[in-house]
Amino acid sequence: MATSVKRAFKYRFYPTDAQATEPSRTFGCVRKVYNMALAARTEAWARKQRISYGGTSAMLTAWKKTEELAYLNEVSAVPLQQALRHLQTAFANFFAKRTGYPRFKSKKKSHRSAEYTTSAFRYRNGELRLAKMAEPLAIVWSRPLPENAKPSTVTVSRDSAGRWFVSMLCRDSQIRPYPATGTAVGIDLGLDRLLTLSTGETIANPRHERKDRARLAKAQRALARKAKGQGSNRAKARRAVARIYARIADRRRDHLHKISTRLVRENQTLVIEDLAVRNMIKNRSLARTISDAGWSEFRNMLEYKASWHGRELVVADRWFPSSKLCSGCGAKRDTMPLNVGAWTCRTCGARHDRDVNAAKNLLAVGLTASVFGADVRPQRSTPGRRSATKQKPTRREP
């Protein structure tokens, strides 16, 4: 039976000079309004007062009436209001202790985007027109929208490489669960091997960043030689670096999409480990390699694809010693250095590949949690002992 979900469909488009001018001005106005509202709320916070979204909306109306900020009236009002809503969401997440305090948007480093709701765009017969624009956008329709789709929001963005994108949020009622299978798989994430499955299959790490490292270093050296300022040569050099980064990210994302789709299609239950990636990349010697692997992005893909297609994703406890346990008898080693790729169990004599053994242990604990509930915790003692080692509390990233 088909289910209905909200999906964002992202396309690249090529604006004319006139079309590029309007979004560029809107990006600047959105950033200005966001930063001014954040400053106002921060000052109020210092006085032990709170300003809600309604308060910042009233401020925006007043700002537009001033001579200094009269240019805010020249762009669509909808993206400016959406910026205030996004700021409200950021504060809500901060007060709920899910994220840190909202930060100001930088002209150079922040993501340039503007969000339009239904009153500020028109989509008809495959043509999209934004407010303040006379001509439709020249969109490259790389895939069709769902049948009878009606976008609820449209987000226009430009990345650091100079590419223009439009993202349309639609309700897709054509998502169907995959046919049920009786298979389950444990997935161990790594660096030398990107994935190791409990079936024994390994998927190599393409190391996209390493393949383009020489080109990236050359482009970065060229950028470093350019004098800092607003010169066109430095801007060109900066875009050259950004294009290489964009190429790396695009290839990584495409690879992870193919792997995650295949695993979700073939398996009813998938088990992965809860990795503290944010803490792991603090290791300077491994930060570049870990970031290039895209573990967090891969987990996110598994989560929403499993939800869409009727699969179950089980996330094992972060402190589960998957590499130290023997998948045959359950005996636990005291230590397991990172340079050990294969080992022999002293209890049963089984010979293990480190990663395959970890994937098998993840599968076992994941199936247990699937049957008995998420409160089941992994074993932390060697079989035969009377008492179990006291479990460490589960840690969550802030």
Measured CA distances, 265 to 63, 144, 178, 311 (Å): 53, 22, 6, 9
The helix (run of H) or strand (run of E) holding residue 186 is strand 184-189
Q: If you write DSSP's letter for every residue of 49-89 in order, what string do you get?
A: ----HHHHHHHHHHHHTSSTTGGGGGS-HHHHHHHHHHHHH
Alpha helices in the chain (DSSP H): 17-46, 53-64, 77-95, 208-211, 213-225, 232-266, 277-280, 287-293, 295-308, 354-372
Rounding to the nearest 10 degrees, give the CA dihedral for residues 211, 212, 218, 221.
-110
Strand partners, 292: none
Strand partners, 353: 342
Measured CA distances, 374 to 121, 184, 194, 314, 378 (Å): 44, 17, 26, 8, 11
Catalytic residues: 188, 273, 355
Residues whose CB is less than 8 angstroms from the CB of residue 354 and which lie 6 or more positions away in sequence, other chains included: 323, 336, 340, 341, 342, 343
Residue located via tokens 């209001």: 81
